[in-house]
Structure 1
Amino acid sequence: MSDFVHLHVHTHYSLLDGLAKVPPLVSRAKELGMNALAITDHNNLFGAVEFQQYCERNGIEPIFGAQLNVIHDQERRPCHLVLLARDLTGYANLRYLVSRAHLDHGSERPHVELQLLAEHGQGLIALTGDLGGAIAQALLRNQTTQAHRILDEYIEIFGSDGVFIEIQRHEGLNEQAEVNQKLIQLSGDRNIPLVATADTHYVLPEHADGHAVLMCIGMDKRVDVEDLERLPVRDLYLKSPEEMAELFSDLPEAIENTRAIAERCKFRIPLGEVFLPQYRVPDDYTIESYFAHLAREGLAVRIKELRARGVELDEEEYRARLEIEIGVITEMKYPGYFLIVWDFINHAREEKIPVGPGRGSGAGSLVAYSLRITNIDPLQYGLLFERFLNPERVSMPDFDIDFCMKRRGEVIEYVTRKYGTNNVGQIVTFGQLKAKACIRDVARVLNLPYSEADGLAKLIPNELGIKLEEALKKEPRLREAIDSKPILARLF
């Protein structure tokens, strides 16, 4: 078993900063003989579930963390602090902190105040951060007293056994060599242990150029191709335990402490259990009976409407189909889910907020049609309920609902008001650099002529989600173009 565990790692969920996708990151850790690994993305836990799933498949103990921006002083400079969750309490606190970091400060850079950190520090271990950490920054300014004060604040929040002085060694950073001596001195003076980290941002050494370009895209900077290799800090890859042991051969305890921390951070995020807010039903009803009542009542109205339009139908067929669906939905314990969806769609219609007719597999449910969640008669179009909900393939029902873009916020406000902020969340969508856009963005950063980049981009086949590697195989002219100029080959 390796003594070293990576505790400061950024994935591509550190947007426009991290380059490491979770699957290859975890696979590489396994190749290097590691049996534990942390991720600590910037002010978020976007990758936590995916990370746990891949770690479990590869026999690696996942450690959940984040690098937060924390405000310490009156100048309100956000400084880095790495937090690792020891247990589910710590993970809940970390979730709360990253949420507040984004929600409390509008268009400002996400950050948390020290006081909020003090209120939610239970179950967390703190690493004092890289060169952007508050202690490192104070030491670089020769403000030793302030560095001690900040360390005292951390100890008060996390306990003396919950704070570690983080130390890194990267080539090309003169400031780091300077501050490391002071960090070692501080550790000895205060008897607070050191911990070695690598500030990993990509998986392999050869990804350094890609990472540099990604950073330039994020900062809207330009760099000449020949200058890429002269940029400072080109060793942010996932180093092996042997490399880390050699880097810190004079500080073996800093390596050993990574394992000690990992041993204290063993827990799993509970997955697979569904937690739904409760829909309040009228007196004399249960959730199940009220759901069935509304569905039957709604179908009766729908049948009248269909007949009024001259539609020929077999009422018994409709009623039999409805009862089958009610039975399946009740057996799978989803009446409450249907009532919640019915409720906010009903509210939207009462407020004259336009609602779409329904799309996706949910349109195959007669119950949904009866409750006016959808506006498509599944029997008329031969749509299958089993594609939406099937007891043999248990998964949450999922309605695709479209609201008027200008007023969808009113629906979200209603749901939040009725069911509580703790029970309502919005799902993030991540934008990705697709093949054509990637070529144009990278070319812009590298100061390549737009005409050349645009010409290459137009050679990419028009296939959804195509990768650059696939494009090279499918389009010979693309290969010919990049082979003709070394600078274009470097682009790829």
Structure 2
Amino acid sequence: MHSIDPNVEKETVGLLKADFLGIRNLSILGIAVTIVAHTKKVKIDLEKIPWDDKKTFKLLAMGRTMGVFQLSSAGMTKNLKELEPDNIYDIMAMVALYRPGPMEIIPEYIKRKKNPAMVTYPHPKLKDILERTFGLLIYQDDVMLTAMVLAGYDAEEADKFRKAMGKKIKELMQEQKEKFIDGCVKNELTKAKAREIWSYIEPFAGYGFNKAHSASYAVVAYQTAYMKANYPAEFMAALMTAESGNAEKIAEAVAECEKMNIKVLPPDINQSLANFTYISDREIRFGLAAIKNLGEDIIKTIIEERKENGKFKSLADFLVRVHSRNLNKKSLEALIKAGAMDEFAERNQMLNNMEKMLAFVKINEREINTGQSSLFGGQTSGKEPVLVLEPALPAEEKYKLLWEKELLGLYVSSHPFKNLNGYFQDKTAAIRDIINKQYAPGSLISVAGIIAGVKKIFTKKNELMLFAAIEDMSGAMEIIVFPRLAQKNANIWEEDKLVLVTGKLSEKDDVPKMLAESAVEIDPQKPGEALKNRLGGDNGKTRRPLNIIINVASRDFNCEAHNKLKSIFGDCHGKNRVFITVKQGATVRTIATSFFIDFNNEIKGRIEAVAGANSVEIRVPEMAV
């Protein structure tokens, strides 16, 4: 491998290097802008949006970053919640710093932003360069300008310095270190001070971002956050359209929509377009293209016919008007099982009458212009066609959900664990809480849910080992099943089984996983039996104490609200400390109360009934304000 840059290495190939990045978020933005133009009749120019939008910065400060370019990882979200950015330069800084090396500077950046009195500069001459970053070296440009101002580098030398750092070549870095210190000494800095400033520069080797790169990324990050904050339903419809085909991403987006009070509905023959379809600010529907076994040709035919002649009035009307060689048993089953035809008849009834429906299509094609009486009891001449279906027992809820998962990739209209969730939510750990690290590594905990998938491998000893995905109403996580347990109750580890699993929590690679120690199948009719047979798992004792953050505006935090909250706190003593954040204009004041409370969905609901919807945040202590 040889360098392409002759200024850095002697052995070069002398070619220009160009990097081309494909950023899906640009597609998401384009789709979102198109949807808004259609739904709100607003033409958005992303280059002219306000760069000080309060909704956008509030969204970032609340950690609602799912789908936001560059800012959606758990670590970045944590930093944004602590930083509470209020300008594009904060986003630039986070983009530049959130990588190995510079990441260590993030806590200091946050402290200095919160308390300007803490801002200091490595040298007075660097104030003009580093004022925007609170005295911290953040960008490659800062390093280059520091070398020019303090060590006497010219622009060409500073650029070679930048390239040497980027290549992390030990010999070149040693040369630059000596040159930098000598230059500083010539400019009347002490050697000790020069070495100190070099120590600030060194962590950037190989990881520093240039300011233009950070600014470009920050602009796209802000634009995606702006669209999500101001046009949430349109943005989420665009995001899911761009992620079509990735069931895991769609499931994550559906969960995010739920947090945003946006319902994601099954596809509908009279409402769905090809892609995820905005219905209202509170509803999005799956698009027809999301349905497996449904080809592009019939999707196009359905949408064009509906656009030209209006909605389909009945099942018979649909079968008569959609002329496509791909309107066959496979495509009709896909539409029915996915729930797209629910307004016409019950799913199981349509499936049981499939042959009658297909015969209706064929006979109608042959006789539609003859004026003859239909063999199915209606007239086809001059009247709406009639198709009488034979009665059938309705499909059970569990089969509807299995069909949805099979054809859409996830459960949409409901969840197989919904009816059991209320029973288990205060007796087991919610997966969302595990993912949010509210339980310490090594804790023995229990989770209840449905097995969403199982991956089998064989160890070096040729023993079966399993990696199972389990999900409840709050999220999904991985469970590792070692050979002994995999053999002991092999019949439990099957997709769509309802299970109660107890095990120790691991956070290897910073991703919470459970190492299963016992598993019991849940009988929906007798859920309590599973709890009797579980091994340990006292979730209340192993859960980390939380900080409960209640965000209120000063105008709403009156004596009545204060007394109501105090009464709630008095009813539910526990180990989670309550903080109240009061906002008045640009001023934010956090009160660390003396109340320690229990916390669950019921208590959260009671608090939000007083303080307002979405006013409650939970943080583990290391994330405390």
Interval containing the TM-score (normalised by the shorter chain): under 0.3
- Structure whose residues are more often strand by fraction: 2
> Which has more radius of gyration?
2
- Normalised by the size of structure 1, how large is the TM-score? 0.21
Q: Which has the higher contact order (CA 8 A, sep 6+)?
A: 1
